[in-house]
Amino acid sequence: MRVLLDTTYADRAPHSGTAVYLDRLIDALGRVDRVEVVQARNRRRRPPAGGGLGSVRNLLADRLWTAVELPALARAAGADVIHHPLPAHARRARLAQVLTIHDLTFERLPECFDRAFRIYTHQTHRAAASAAGAVICVSETTAADARALWGVAAPRIVIARHGPGQELPAARGTGASHILYVGDDHPRKNLCTLLGAYRRYRDGVADPLPLVLAGSATAYGPGIRVEREPGAQRLAQLYAGAVALVHPSLYEGFGLTALEAMAAGTPVIAASAPGLVEVCGDAARYADPRDEVAFATALRELAGQPALRRELVQRGRAQAARFSWDASARAHLEAYSLALRA
């Protein structure tokens, strides 16, 4: 089976969870019998423009790529299946198509997204899911949303859970030098609650730990440090030195960063959002995502109780071991086969 996998998004957002997904999936599919992956990327695609005419230009370029160029590449490659890692559909392609839904946060939390984006995405992504031969969902949470919000029939859904994040080098640390956040500052990531909780935490202890924001988020204030887009080696060091990763998202389809932290041996404080609870199980300390006081309490507990940290590390490693990219690749093969039979 030859699968044409569109990897354009990894070039547009190389530090995103989707980019990690593509990188690890391609590696894992290479170990699966009967699957040959052909990568296709639109090298002319410009970076995100942030609105205005630039975004319109990118939108038109994306539509041309999906409607015309991608099908042509699939034919030239002799592909059996096109895999869109985000919801899309190539109408002119006369072969099986599969897409991945990571989350439907824009449907669950419309207030966190631009109205024009929300309307366009609702229409186009839902139509793509309806047309696909098979729909890959990264969690039970996302699958339930796809059924309830988009009417995707259960027999057309294959759940392929991610493995434990990106491949990180081994790193040694005391595990007690800072509090860690990894991600961006999109409204759904709920960074404002974390910052409020951190201020409360600092006010309540004699010797507060610094808060490290790793990724693309930026904030200023006492004790806050910014690590802009750290590489794998540096990220591993940040995990190793953290008393906890704090993941305060209002909603997640999966929770890849939390899983990555647990695999690295970092305790996790997570919002009690469905996707995070599904991934972390009993291995995280949870707090209501809109409750600064609850997060501040959790920060004080983890920073002040080494025994609790050790317990969460042990639980986290055991929980992370339940996920693998090889299992994800086998589930993808199931989805490809399902699309070919459709």
Q: Is residue 276 part of a domain?
A: yes
pLDDT at position 49 is 57
Residues 194 and 140 in one domain: no
Q: What is the pLDDT of residue 13?
A: 81
Query: Cα 143–144–149 angle (5° rounding)?
Result: 105
Helix (H, G, I), strand (E, B) or coil at 121: helix
Yes or no: say if 190 and 271 are a contact pair by the CB < 8 Å rule.
Answer: yes
**Average pLDDT, 10 consecutive residues per value, the chain (342 residues):** 95 88 97 95 76 73 90 96 97 94 97 93 96 98 98 98 94 86 97 98 96 97 97 96 98 97 97 98 98 98 96 98 98 98 90
Distance CA 5, CA 35 (A): 12
Contact 68, 62 (CB under 8 A): no
Q: Are residues 156 and 11 in the same domain?
A: yes
Q: Does 182 share its domain with 60?
A: no
- Report the pLDDT value the prediction gives residue 51, as an integer from 0 to 100: 66
Same domain, 157 and 45: yes
96 and 214 part of one domain = no
**Considering its fold, how many domains does the chain have in total?**
2
pLDDT of residue 90: 94
- Supply the pLDDT for residue 283: 98
138 lies in the same domain as 210:
no
Q: Are residues 129 and 30 in the same domain?
A: yes
Domain extent for 299: 178-320
We report the CATH number of the domain holding residue 17 as: 3.40.50.2000
**CA–CA separation, 80 and 91 (whole Å):** 15
Strand order through the sheet with 157-159: 36-40, 2-6, 81-84, 96-101, 134-137, 157-159
* Residues 153 and 64 both lie in one domain: yes
- 238 and 315 share a domain? yes
Say yes or no: 211 and 235 in one domain: yes
Residue 277 lies in a domain: yes
